[in-house]
Structure 1
Amino acid sequence: MDMETITENEKVRVAKKIKKMFGHIDQRTAEYCPIRDVMALASDKWSILIVLYLGYYPILRFNELKKKVYGISNKVLSEKLKFLEADGYLSRTLYPEVPIRVEYELTDFGHSYLQKLLDLTEWVTQYSDIILANRKKSGKSTTKVF
């Protein structure tokens, strides 16, 4: 699969966007970088999988999510759900039943993030052959499957 050629104009346009994002921040003294802070949570493998599964299954309970997000511990899942809820990606509904029932679903904000994730996952799918070939060439062909 051949990659599309990136023109110099496109590279310049991207560089300008990045400068606009970071130009006002002195990286040597900044204690807080909003992009790094938000991306650290929103782009880790567990959060991405949680958002993708909640995009496919509109409402999931904790144990259903745990089964779908294979390999995640209860502690990490609970942590990620709290952070995603606090940032507004998902909502948590508690039903005062015995036993207590808790359901999670994406908010409108979470759905807007899901759209961006889908763009990225489509890109990964489109170029996975190239990525795997490059890994093989570099001797880094083993990957950890999660």
Structure 2
Amino acid sequence: MNKKEVTVAKLGMGMETIIDNQKVRTIKKLEKMFGHIDYRNPPELCPVRDVMSVASDQWSILILLWLGYFSVLRFNKLKKYVYGISNKVLSQRLKVLEADGYIERKAYPEVPIRVEYNLTEFGRLYVDKLLDLAEWMHDNSPKVLANRKRYGLE
């Protein structure tokens, strides 16, 4: 039987408790990310919330994952793979993802113009993190579905 290493961690309310190292690491990461933020400030003053709002919306995630899978895609192919997205929303998301540095857009001087999109190195690093999260979701989806069923939310 493995013995868990334990440590004392100070929590936000001045409480002390003995918890395992994973919880301590989680708390330290959360404090690093959110410890300096005044919750009374509007969301636009929080850089983490701003970046998360762009990088974690459903359309951006799908766009980035498909670009990670295919390496290079044109607008209409992206629209085909990101099922249900409108031209307007796809165009908006691509512009924001390019501005934030996740993707690059390459236009070729042809008639008709040909435009291709691909991930930047920064975008590839983010897709790797998304895949870790997607793997966790895949592994835990039976548990989530069972919980939904238990609560009548099938």
TM-score by length of 2: 0.84
Q: CA deviation at 1:85?
A: 0.3
Q: Which residue of 2 aligns with 1:36?
A: 49
* 1:61 maps onto 2:74 in alignment: yes
- Once the two structures are TM-superposed, the CA of residue 9 in structure 1 deviates from its matched residue by 2.6
The within-5 A match list for 1:125-140 is 125-140=138-153
Alignment of 1:21-100 (within 5 A): 21-30=33-42, 31-100=44-113
| C-alpha distance in structure 2 between counterparts of 1:29 and 1:125, whole Å | 35
Three-state SS of the structure 1 residue aligned to 2:153 is coil
Give per-residue Cα distances to partners, 1:17-36, cap 9 Å, x unaligned: 10111111112135411111
Determine the C-alpha separation between the residues in 1 that align with 2:127 and 2:139: 18
Please, what TM-score do these two structures have when normalized by structure 1?
A: 0.88
Instruction: Give ranges in structure 2 of 5+ residues lacking alignment.
Output: 1-18
Quick one: which amino acid aligns to residue 39 of structure 2? Answer: Q
- Pair 1:20-2:40 in alignment: no
SS in 1 for 2:137: helix
Cα offset for 1:12?
2.3
SS of alignment partner, residue 82 of structure 1: helix
> Larger relative CO (CA 8 A, sep 6+): 1 or 2?
1
1:11 pairs with 2:29: no
Cα distance in structure 2, aligned partners of 1:140 and 1:44 = 23
Deviation at 1:137, TM superposition (A): 1.2
**Runs of at least 4 residues of structure 1 off by over 6 A?**
none
Q: Could you say what the CA RMSD is over the residues aligned between the two structures, in angstroms?
A: 1.2
Which of the two has higher C-alpha Rg? 2
Q: In 1, distance between residues paired with 2:105 and 2:32? A: 35
Distance 1:127 1:78 in 2: 33
Asked if 1:123 is matched to 2:139, the reply is no
Q: Identity across aligned pairs (percent)? A: 65
